[in-house]
């Protein structure tokens, strides 16, 4: 089962490496990783998406908690939460014309940036909705950049 784990850690050299090494050493897969500063300049939030049964996730959380730089670990998928990703799709003007009438382009959370020869579509949405949009685009030539998942408890 897919889990989103939020790790608050100190802004110290090597902290990210220690967390990544934990996953690597124990053969746990990281599906998505995002790190950003918090409102406190001495700490960051790392959001990790991984998969595993309850026992595996429990072990990951216990092991993460033992890392010296880690201040707090929470499996945010264990309660009501919000998760988002950012998707950027770059295509040329001709390819954009092929999808211009698609319903998803009318979504208010989509921004469209037009340059002379290319169009960039920006979307912030749930991973599931982003997967659906990529599926609905069809067979056109495009380049994508997709961020890691970020999430927060909603209770």
Domain boundaries, the chain: 2-78, 81-153
Amino acid 40: pLDDT: 95
Q: Residue 105: what pLDDT? A: 80
For residue 2, what pLDDT is reported? 94
Distances (CA, A) of 131 to 6, 85, 134, 136: 23, 11, 5, 9
Q: What is the pLDDT of residue 143?
A: 95
Query: Which CATH number applies to 2-78?
Result: 3.30.70.260
Q: Which pLDDT score, from 0 to 100, does residue 76 have?
A: 95
Q: Do domains 2-78 and 81-153 have the same CATH topology?
A: yes
- CA–CA distances in Å: residue 155 to residues 41, 79, 102: 25, 8, 35
**pLDDT of 107 over the 80 cut:** no
Instruction: Please check the confidence at residue 108 and state whether its pLDDT lies above 80.
Output: no
Question: Which two structure tokens, joined as six digits, stand for 76?
Answer: 């945010």
The CA radius of gyration of the chain, in Å to the nearest whole number, is 18
Inform me whether the pLDDT recorded for 115 exceeds 90.
Answer: no
Tokens of 105: 């382009």
Q: Which of 37-41, 95-99, 131-135 has maximum average pLDDT?
A: 37-41
Q: What is the fold, at CATH topology level, of the domain defined by 81-153?
A: Alpha-Beta Plaits (3.30.70)
Please give the structure tokens belonging to residue 72.
């707090």
pTM of structure: 0.86
């Amino acid at each position: 089962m897919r889990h989103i784990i939020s790790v608050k850690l100190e802004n110290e050299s090597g902290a990210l490496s220690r967390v990544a090494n934990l996953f690597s050493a124990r053969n746990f897969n990281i599906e998505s990783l995002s790190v950003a500063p918090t409102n406190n300049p001495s700490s960051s939030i790392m959001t990790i998406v991984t998969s595993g049964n309850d026992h595996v996730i429990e072990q990951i959380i216990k092991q993460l908690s033992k890392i010296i730089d880690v201040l707090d670990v929470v499996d945010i998928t264990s309660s009501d939460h919000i998760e988002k990703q950012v998707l950027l799709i770059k295509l040329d003007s001709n390819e954009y014309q092929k999808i211009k009438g698609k319903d998803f382009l009318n979504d208010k959370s989509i921004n469209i940036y037009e340059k002379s020869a290319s169009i960039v579509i920006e979307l912030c949405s749930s991973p599931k909705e982003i997967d659906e949009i990529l599926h609905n685009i069809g067979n056109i030539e495009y380049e994508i950049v997709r961020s890691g998942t970020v999430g927060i408890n909603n209770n």
